[in-house]
Amino acid sequence: MSLVRAYHAGYASEIQRFLDGAEGISESQSTNNWLGRGVYFWESDHRRAEKWAIRNVREMILECQLETELLIDLLIDDQRSQAFWKLAEKQAAAIQSSSCKPNDKSKEYFGLDGELINRLRTDLEKQYAGIRMAFCLDEPVLPDGHLFPRQQIQICLWNCQVIRSPRKYIGSSFRDL
3-state helix, strand, coil in the chain (%, to 5): 30, 30, 40
Note whether 61 and 46 are within 8 A (CB).
Answer: yes
Q: What pLDDT does 177 receive?
A: 45
Cα 123–Cα 119–Cα 28 angle in degrees, nearest 5: 105
Q: What pLDDT does 172 receive?
A: 64
Nearest one of 126, 135, 120 to 43, comparing CA atoms:
135
Dihedral over Cα of 66, 149, 9, 81: its sign: negative
Mean pLDDT per 10-residue section of the chain, whose length is 177 residues: 94 94 89 90 94 88 96 95 94 76 68 87 94 87 86 95 95 57
Q: What pLDDT does 137 receive?
A: 78
Q: Which helix (H) or strand (E) element contains residue 55?
A: helix 46-55
Instruction: Tell me how far apart the alpha carbons of residues 45 and 171 are, in angstroms, rounded to a whole number.
Output: 12
Q: What pLDDT does 173 receive?
A: 60
Note whether 119 and 92 are within 8 A (CB).
Answer: no
